[in-house]
Structure 1
Amino acid sequence: RQPEGVVRTPAETVAEAQELLDAGKPFHAHEVFEDAWKSGPEDERALWRGLAQLAVGLTHAARGNVTGGARLLRRGAGAVEEWAARAGVERPHGLAPAALAVWARELADDVERDGRPVDARERAPRLRGAA
């Protein structure tokens, strides 16, 4: 498990979460995003919460929870897109909200269609660019 309540800069959050996603540890990445969501500026909390939803959606998809995984992936996709549009920021902290939303919706579709667990490492998103 990741230590909880760690305050990181946005760059540290993104880098650490990407390392965990690349290692096939999306739940741990979720915890890193959750720390940012809880400790970051109020106006960015929806962004970090959306990213946490994407990571936990991948966790559920990897564990075979088709319905929960797809739902969280879509919810997270909508959240990061909505935050970026409302904030008028195309690439907050170097993140790629539009590409992440595409990745999440495609993965949700795949999970629902195939009905079986995915490999979290193989299906990890690229936070700063295309999946």
Structure 2
Amino acid sequence: MGRLLAIELTMMVMIENEEGEILVQDRKKKDWPGWTFPGGHVEQEEGSYKAALREIKEETGLVIQPTLQGTAEWNNLTKKTRELAFLYTALVKKQSLPKNLFWIKKADLGTHNLAGTLNELLPIFFGDEQQIYFEV
């Protein structure tokens, strides 16, 4: 068995404002439709922290200071690939947001269809767990 795997690096940030509201994105893409937190791919020339700064600025206009909460791994046994996601949180002052982004109360996260495995990732964002692993 080889030790090298193709790994896709991603990151996601749960952003909370001073009123305790969480920023969500209503994602319409086929690969992860539903409410989710902003995030994206780590580019070749950056680490996950810099990717978080860049992606959040691009998607929301917000400047953040993210804190790493944990990681999630998806092991695709069929494709023999993995995705490793760095999961961050950040606090910001409430401000207006671009279209398809909005503030909700934490309790309202469960009232709508969350994208992909986001529901299973919430314990990491809330500080109850540090790592989760999925086989697909």
> Which has the larger helix fraction?
1
Question: What is the TM-score of this pair, normalised by structure 2?
Answer: 0.29
Question: What is the TM-score of this pair, normalised by structure 1?
Answer: 0.30
> Which has the larger strand fraction?
2
Relative contact order (alpha carbons < 8 A, sep ≥ 6): 1 or 2 greater? 2
